Amino acid sequence: MGALHAVKGLEDPPNFSVVPDTQWRAIEHSVDRGIAYMLGQQHRNGSYGIGELEKPAVTSLVCMAMISRGHLPSDAKGASDESKAIIQSLDYVLSCQRGDGLLGYSPQTLSSHNYTAFNFSKFMNYNHAICGLFLTEVYGMTDPKRAARIEVAVDRALSFTRREQKRRIAPEVEARDRGGWRYIGEPDFNIDNFYSDLSVTSWVIMFLRSAENAGFDVPHQWAKQGLAYVLRCYNPSSGTFGYAPGHPHMATRGLLGAGALCLFLTGHKDVEMEQRTAMRIKDHPFDRYNYQTNKREHYHYSAYYISQAAMQIGGSTWEHFYPPFADTFLHHQNPDGSWAAESKRPDLGQVYPTALSILALTPPYQLLPIYQR
């Protein structure tokens, strides 16, 4: 145990007084409206989302958004609608685990919805890591019976995670790609010949950190190899993190936040990287709603990661980022409580960006364990 050690930001802790009471109240009201919208979108089996392939991950994000506002899972008599919805979704996510430990798989998904093997391969490790993160975040909040089911599921999921990582440290894998994670399946499923990418790897590192926080055994070697991959994604000349090593043109705000967050979650102290990340966060605000700084960027996804990174850095970085960012999101919330579909992935609908928007607004609450500074 003790393999992963979160590191505090090098700036002072966030000064919450820079957010006026009127804005805090508006944020809370906005988050509550977003949660109310999502509650109305739950499917009968407990899932959320549109595409069958993405539902496990979207469902997990919705539940973490509710937990980040203080809603706890419960199906006891008198429990709130939010608490009951989390329980129903938790049971759904647990039901999606495959025999080999992969989370986010329904036996009917591939055959019943005509997904190609490549699309299935592409999304499953996202599902796996995000579902694993949800299960480990909620683990200590559930009744003993469900906690026991989660424990079995997470142990199997961690074993699958390590097997996927070991595939990427084999001698035939290029040195640049070793230690990270990407799509499942054979290497020829990987576009651009990447065996790993920072987008998937960052979710996995969050899962590993959360799992260790919850008391699961996460050997030091896993995190060390994952961090080494993240560091290879960093471009010293621009101060950005790319999608993969040697591809600085594939940098986005989301990857910047993801890379920085991985440093904090694994306890890697690097003043230069943190200072340059802080500078780029200040120079690239989220004041243009649903705007992509380049064609690769996902706006709400980027806001989710940058908000967490700014919170971890703290000090002037958080104070410069959070109040105007929150105003932008408050002003662009739809009357029904949702936020607009992701400009790069409109096919995922509005539940997905609504969950990410809430998760981006709630790091100051410090209620979701992975957020804690």
Tell me, letter by letter, the H, E, C secondary structure of 215-271. Answer: CCCCCHHHHHHHHHHHHHCEECCCCEECCCCCCHHHCCHHHHHHHHHHHHHHCCCCH
Write out pLDDT tens, residues 41-53: 999 999 999 988 8
> What contacts 52, CB < 8 A, 6 or more positions away?
106, 109, 112, 113, 115
Position with higher pLDDT, 341 vs 113: 341
230 token code pair? 């993240």
Half-sphere exposure of 21 (CA within 13 A, CB side): 0
Instruction: Say if residue 37's pLDDT is above 70.
Output: yes
Position with higher pLDDT, 361 vs 12: 361
Write out pLDDT tens, residues 80-101: 999 999 999 999 999 999 999 9
Instruction: Say if residue 357's pLDDT is above 90.
Output: yes
Instruction: Say if residue 1's pLDDT is above 50.
Output: no
**Predicted pLDDT of residue 249:** 81
**Predicted pLDDT of residue 170:** 83
**Predicted pLDDT of residue 294:** 87
Instruction: Say if residue 3's pLDDT is above 60.
Output: no
CA distances 243 to 82, 248, 285, 303, Å, are 36, 8, 20, 17
pTM for this entry: 0.94
Write out pLDDT tens, residues 154-189: 999 999 999 999 988 888 888 889 999 998 865 554
> What contacts 115, CB < 8 A, 6 or more positions away?
52, 53, 109
Tell which residue, 272, 286, 277, 287, has the closest CA to residue 312: 277
Percent of the chain with pLDDT strictly greater than 70: 91
Q: Are 372 and 366 in contact (CB under 8 A)?
A: yes
**Predicted pLDDT of residue 45:** 95
**Predicted pLDDT of residue 337:** 98
* Whole-angstrom distance, CA of residue 79 vs CA of residue 57: 25
Tell which residue, 92, 88, 103, 117, has the closest CA to residue 154: 103
Residue 49 falls in which region: left (phi positive, over 0), alpha (psi -120 to 50) or beta? left
Going by pLDDT thresholds of 50, 70 and 90, the confidence category of residue 333 is very high
Percent of the chain with pLDDT strictly greater than 90: 76
Name residue, tokens 């592409």.
Answer: 122
Q: Are 277 and 309 in contact (CB under 8 A)?
A: yes
Instruction: Say if residue 284's pLDDT is above 80.
Output: yes
Q: Are 176 and 246 in contact (CB under 8 A)?
A: yes
Residue 240's φ and ψ, nearest 5 degrees, are -120, 165
**Average pLDDT of every residue of the chain:** 91
